[in-house]
Structure 1
Amino acid sequence: MPHIDYYFATISPYTYLAGTRLEEIAAKHGATITYKPVDILQQFARTGGQPPKDRHISRQEYRAQELPRQARKLGMTFNLKPAHWPTNMAPSSYALIAAQNAGGGDLGALTHAFTRAVWAEEKNIAEDDVIRECLAAAGFDPALAESGLLEGAETYAQNLEDAVNAGAFGAPFYVVDDGARFWGQDRLEDLDLHLSGKL
């Protein structure tokens, strides 16, 4: 049974555009997933990337075209300049880690709920009420928003180390247990083909 380590950031627009396609692919191939939210800014700093605001103007302009274009292609609501971005991604990441440890809900739905809140719903995922709402909608106990903060912080820091060691330098990033790596929501088809033995 294949396993996928899924590195992502709860404020990443490309993680939002991935939707729940990873979960559909994993179900198709009987693969398991470990959700590993990371601090994307620290990941950039560790792997040679730059925050969007610090990139060359040509990269910023391309991003401004590409994100809405991909959203239209996928039929997804998207706001290029959301009211609450960037925001502190740690609280939502801690909640997701706590949810993964607790079980009983849909982690793919929770991940998408956080990113959708940022990029389509004008919500601040650093706020407890928003985090509780996302947890409940994905079938988890909303109280997870306040529990497991210490463990969440430790796991969150370890996820960054794991990402760097695995060669993950952006989000979303998918690492299969056979060593194959796939970067970006636009590589999910390639991940599917890889798991099918066709690529």
Structure 2
Amino acid sequence: MKTLGKFLSTTAVLLGLFGLAPTAHADPGRFMDMKTAVKAPIGHRQFCRDNGWACQNERYEPVVVKLTENRWNELIAINADVNRRVRPMTDADLFGKEEYWTYPVDGYGDCEEYVLEKQRVLIEAGWPKSALLITVAKDIQNGGHAVLTVRTDHGDMILDNQIEAVLPWYSTPYRYIKRQSASSPVKWTGISDTRVTTVSSISN
């Protein structure tokens, strides 16, 4: 497992992370700007039909995880473990469909399978559901991409299968479009991502 010191020494954007006051109001840029309710992605709706136990129509109070050094190391370790044991394969090759969301099949999957597996493993490790949110973005080639947003007292952190490091959302090269609501696993909220490097948004 990477220690916090080693990780921060190789990730300049996170230097001093644990020395900052854990207040959301001190630096709103650390947190995605969430807007109005939007439709869930078609793939997530299909996933919920197939896996009702994972998409119960429940509501809960949003939780922001206190990012201790132990929690941070656990987050890095789980992200790295899933990235290592799941091998990339497109939905078209794996399922014969352009878009199909599920858990990894025989150790294979695309970005959604990585995200769903990381969310599942973190929940099993005791992380709160409301802090582990499937998030849809556009990548640098303007293609659809999914990552896992982890809500912490130091901001929204991104677990990704294309980038090894766990990074703050604003330090990733993506344009964020929408993510699961922090109040319900079946609700989704639009993201106002107004940074300079804009790309087209994904349709609802």
TM-score of the superposed pair, with normalisation by structure 1: 0.32
TM-score of the superposed pair, with normalisation by structure 2: 0.31
Return the structure number with greater helix share: 1
Answer 1 or 2: higher relative contact order, Cα 8 Å, separation at least 6: 1
Return the structure number with greater strand share: 2
